[in-house]
Amino acid sequence: MSEMDAYRALYIAESRENHETIVKNLLVLENGPDEAAIAEIFRSAHSLKGMSATMGFKHMERVCHAMEDVFQLIRSGQLEVHQDLVDLLLAASDDIELMLDDIESEGPGTIDHLEERVQSLLDWKADRHTPGGMDAGSMQSENGATVPAQIADEALLEEKEGQFQMLIRLRDDCDSRNLRGMLLLQNLDQFGTIIQCIPDREIVEDGVFDGTIRLVIRSDAGIDALKTAASVSDVKEVLFGPDIEMAAGKTAPGREGVGKPLTGSDIVAAGTDHAPGLAKQVKEERVDKSREVKNIRVDITRLDQMMNLIEDLVINRGRLAQIARKFQIKELDETLNMVGRSVSDLQNLMMNIRMIPLSHIFNRFPRTVRDLAHKEEKEVEFTIEGGDTELDRSIMDGLNDPLLHLIRNGVDHGIEKPEIRMRSGKPGKGKLNLIASRDRDNVVIVIEDDGTGINREKVARKAVERGLITELQAAEMTNEAVYDLLFLPGFSTAEKVTDVSGRGVGLDVVRTAIDNLKGTIKVESSPGKGSRFELVLPPTMAIVNVIMVRINGRRCAIPVNNVVEVAGLSVSKIHHIGTQEAIMMRDEVLPLDRLDDMFGKSDKTEILVVLQHQNKKRTIAVDMIEGQQEVVIKPLSSMIGGCRGISGITIPGDGEVVPVLDVNAIVREN
């Protein structure tokens, strides 16, 4: 990878984080004024603009600059947030995502409608100013810049909810005004929220100003901290409140001696006794802290390579342990105990490094719910819990689409329109919850709504019409069995085809994806009260616990999480239902499979292994149980191709290649 490619990758990663922050806080802002959300949006948009300018992506810089202008008007109270404005800003955010995709593909980072989007943002900026081109609360400064009226007021703003007026002058001989201005504004951002900056922030960072910056900042840090933050190199003076008037040659009555200019080497504490060297000390501490790197970005392919190497260590650890037992080499056995602990610790550490909070995909869904609810003319309160629950990135990669489908399903099929809900005695706004939690070794994700629920009769009728079941079967089926019909390929209860429903791409896609992740999905519903989808997923798929068994003398591995119990097999208890063997266990009739087509016929089957997938159970007959162990599952080679009933292979300590049963496929297919 070239140096430019490395910079591009870093730019993409940071830009996507900033983009996600903008979208998330726009949705917060749509629900009402929120200063924290505005500050987050402004910081992210400003950072994205600055990084784009540095990397030379001018198209991205233009869009971000136009958005930043609109955010500045919102932050200063000159522009009220409406749904149509949020729609425009979200559309611009979508454009940013498209441009990032293009940049990631080594393109220039542009879109076809760039000019139209920028102009639509500029129109908001132009049309939402107070008539006459100047806000009623502003005045002209001596250098022609528009200055907030508060800055010319003699009253100290720090007495008003922690707001401060500041005037900062750079030295006349400063030849890097843009860098100094950017640095001091970034420093101040760490201590509060800059409400207004004259001249505009982008002008300061471009360096095309006379070296004087006036601003209003809201902060709880106090004057001393703000003075220190603003006292970067080449700063001539920093003034507060009435001192601003005195710096312009106007001495405020009764304030003699207070207007002494503040310089970088001589900090005058207002009303406090601080040492003159405080600024230097604080700045040195800040520099020291900035040198401490606590987080680094690592390409995910490197983590995959490391994981493969650790998996090889796990395999060979078992092999060496078996050799040590075979030849009874005491010294080797002792060393292997130490190596084994190190490999286990390394394995656990690597697994933790690969774990990613579910918030990485959860944070995308509020926008989806918002847009779909508006389109469907519904009101939806979307709640997310447990976003800090972690999953292995290999599972995370395959989880986005099924969750997206279930969430869209909840808004489209589940939650009713406000007028229908209110006629049923419900609040007009529906609730949709996305909840993640840990249950022992598994991760549980629940998507639930308080909508209309699943109509059992409607589902059964559709299944009968399609010839999937008979009317007699429909009448005798449990609710659980009826809900299971929803997962059949192409099954849909939608009356008409839209871009969301009725296209034949139903919940079978969800089940297939969850099966591929070695998870399960369960549906519960209460008519008129809502539905609940529960996904249970393993935290990782790479290293799992299995039971080693032998069938017809051949070994195979069965994942422990699919095994319900192990019992003795008595020929007298085997029954025949048609051509299928079955066995009665605890008042439950379970099909019995011998897997002759996979391993050959065996006459020594004495043990019964009960398997479960979703809500279905089956049993298989095996010759013997060798025990339980932790193994690495490797996928089948592309040269071999897929093999029905086999999910992969593993290599235990003796070096034999052992197939791993795909219990999900076996139970589902049979």
Which is catalytic among the residues 40, 68, 237, 448? 68
Chain centroid to CA 419: how far?
Answer: 34
116 is catalytic: no
The yes-or-no answer on residue 476 being catalytic is: no
Count Cα neighbours of 436 within 13 Å in the Cβ-side half-sphere. 22
Give the residues across from 383 on adjacent strands. 433
CB atoms within 10 A of CB 18: 22
Residue type at position 139:
M
Among the listed residues 25, 187, 409, 562, the single catalytic one is 409
Question: CB atoms < 10 A from the CB of 540, how many?
Answer: 18
Q: Are strands 235-240 and 163-170 parallel, antiparallel or unpaired?
A: antiparallel
Say if CB 489 and CB 508 are below 8 A apart. yes
Residue 409 annotated among the catalytic residues of the structure: yes
Q: Checking DSSP bridges between strand 442-449 and strand 530-537, what pairing results, if any?
A: antiparallel
Would you say 210 and 171 are in contact if contact means Cβ atoms under 8 Å apart?
A: no
Reading the block at residue 450, the tokens are 């308080």
SS3 123: helix
Query: Distance (Å, rounded) from C-alpha 103 to C-alpha 109?
Result: 5
Distance CA 210, CA 199 (A): 10
Residue spans of alpha helices (H) in 600-648: none
Q: How far apart are CA 447 and CA 523, in angstroms?
A: 10
Q: Which of 19, 46, 413, 613 is catalytic?
A: 46
Determine whether 52 is exposed, middle or buried from the number of CB atoms within 10 Å of its CB (0-12, 13-18, 19+): buried
Task: Judge residue 650's burial from the number of C-beta atoms within 10 Å of its C-beta, 0-12 exposed, 13-18 middle, 19 or more buried.
Answer: buried
Of all residues in the chain, what percent are helix, strand and coil, respectively (each to 5)? 45, 25, 30
**Do 376 and 417 touch, CB atoms closer than 8 A?**
yes
Separation of alpha carbons 336 and 469, rounded Å: 59
User: Over the range 219-241, which residues count as b (16 or more CB within 10 Å of their CB) and which as e?
Assistant: bebebbbbbbbbbbebbbbbbbb
Query: Residue 612: enclosing H or E segment and its boundaries?
Result: strand 607-613
Closest CA to 556 of 636, 654, 641, 656: 656
What sign for the dihedral angle of Cα 273, 277, 282, 283? positive
Give phi and psi for 479, each to the nearest 5: -60, -40
Tell which phi-psi region holds residue 641, choosing left (phi > 0), alpha (psi between -120 and 50) or beta. Answer: left
Q: What count of other Cβ atoms lies within 10 Å of the Cβ of residue 197? A: 22
517, 398 contact by CB (below 8 A)? yes
β-bridge mates for residue 521, sequence order:
535
Q: Known catalytic residues?
A: 46, 68, 409
